[in-house]
Amino acid sequence: MDINYLLLRQQTERSRAATATSNVARRIHEQLASEYERLIEDATDGRVTFTGSTARLPVRSANADGQTL
């Protein structure tokens, strides 16, 4: 599955949860966001994880020539 699609859906559901007008709708959007987060973690073999609703992305380093490792 396309990781960009999953990230978009996760962000959309978090946004919808934040603006929901009822507790039921908020809870459903939060559950959907959490499921997308699980799918993202699985698709990236744990390289992208979530704490609360914040993504933890892997840190990339560069060698002496400026190339990403």
Does residue 60 register a pLDDT over 60?
no
Total domain count, the chain: 1
pLDDT of residue 55: 60
CA distance between the termini of the chain: 25
Q: pLDDT band at residue 64, thresholds of 50, 70 and 90?
A: low
Q: Calculate Rg over the CA atoms of the chain.
A: 15
69 within some domain: no
pLDDT digits (tens, 9 = 90+) for 36-57: 999 999 999 999 998 765 566 5
Domain that holds residue 35: 3-56
Q: Is 49 helix (H, G, I), strand (E, B) or coil?
A: strand
Q: Does the model's pTM come out above 0.85? A: no
pLDDT in tens, 14-27: 999 999 999 999 99
Q: Is residue 65 a part of any domain in this protein?
A: no
